């Protein structure tokens, strides 16, 4: 998997990290990321998916309901969110690679409250894998890597960078997933005593 530590330490940029990658690399990295997320779900029980963890730092400024701004996310919520974000990056990257000018967001998120079983989480991850890999099939043989747009933060985003931002976002949630699973497992073990 890509090591995003230098990006987080501001030693490099996502653009620099992505510059040397190819669509084949993006395929491999997508496979590795989905496999890593699925590995975190190996011992998860259905009740873990809706378990509400302790998360005193919970802050979702994009929540549509103000009451949910500080809501701790369930495992189902995180899986729905992170797959939607990575898919958005993948499909925007495909459009950029085809020479289409950036036209705004391209996002759909499965309703997280419907994510109630571990099988649904696994299915959502596999579906996301399939969709992200399929998006790479949309790239032309000679992608328009010079087709860029400037983000709100002033960053120049090309197709490779756009795709890698999705992987970075996934990576940002790996520890959160592991922590939710840890807390849920501990709660189950305590309830069994």
The pLDDT value given to residue 22: 96
The pLDDT value given to residue 60: 79
- 111 contact partners, CB below 8 Å, separation of at least 6: 80
- How does pLDDT run across 116-168, given as a tens digit for each residue? 999 999 999 999 999 999 999 999 999 999 999 999 999 999 999 999 999 99
The pLDDT value given to residue 193: 80
Asked if residues 124 and 110 have their Cβ atoms less than 8 Å apart, the reply is yes
Mean pLDDT by 10 residues, the chain (193 residues): 95 96 97 98 96 86 77 94 97 98 93 96 98 98 96 94 98 97 94 84
Q: What is the pTM of this model?
A: 0.94
Distance, CA of 95 to CA of 113 (rounded, Å): 30
Distance, CA of 47 to CA of 124 (rounded, Å): 17
**Total residues belonging to the chain:** 193
Distance, CA of 33 to CA of 31 (rounded, Å): 6
Q: What is the average pLDDT value for the chain, to the nearest integer?
A: 94
The pLDDT value given to residue 55: 86
Residue 69 gets which letter from DSSP? T
The pLDDT value given to residue 15: 96
Distances, alpha carbon 159 to alpha carbons 66, 91, 142, 163, 170, in Å? 34, 10, 12, 6, 17
């Amino acid at each position: 998997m890509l090591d995003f530590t230098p990006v987080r330490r501001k030693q490099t940029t996502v653009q620099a990290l992505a510059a040397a990658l190819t669509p084949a690399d993006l395929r491999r990295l997508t496979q590795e990321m989905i496999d890593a997320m699925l590995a975190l779900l190996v011992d998860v029980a259905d009740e873990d998916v809706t378990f509400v963890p302790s998360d005193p730092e919970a802050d979702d400024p994009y929540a549509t309901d103000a009451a949910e701004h500080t809501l701790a996310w369930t495992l189902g919520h995180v899986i729905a969110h992170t797959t939607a974000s990575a898919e958005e990056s993948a499909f925007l990257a495909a459009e950029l690679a085809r020479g289409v000018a950036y036209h705004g967001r391209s996002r759909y998120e499965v309703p997280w409250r419907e994510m109630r079983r571990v099988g649904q989480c696994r299915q959502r991850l596999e579906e996301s894998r399939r969709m992200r890999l399929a998006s790479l099939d949309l790239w032309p043989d000679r992608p328009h890597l010079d087709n860029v747009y400037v983000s709100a933060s002033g960053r120049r985003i090309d197709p490779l960078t756009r795709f890698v931002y999705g992987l970075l976002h996934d990576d940002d949630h790996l520890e959160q997933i592991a922590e939710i699973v840890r807390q849920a497992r501990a709660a189950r073990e305590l309830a069994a005593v």
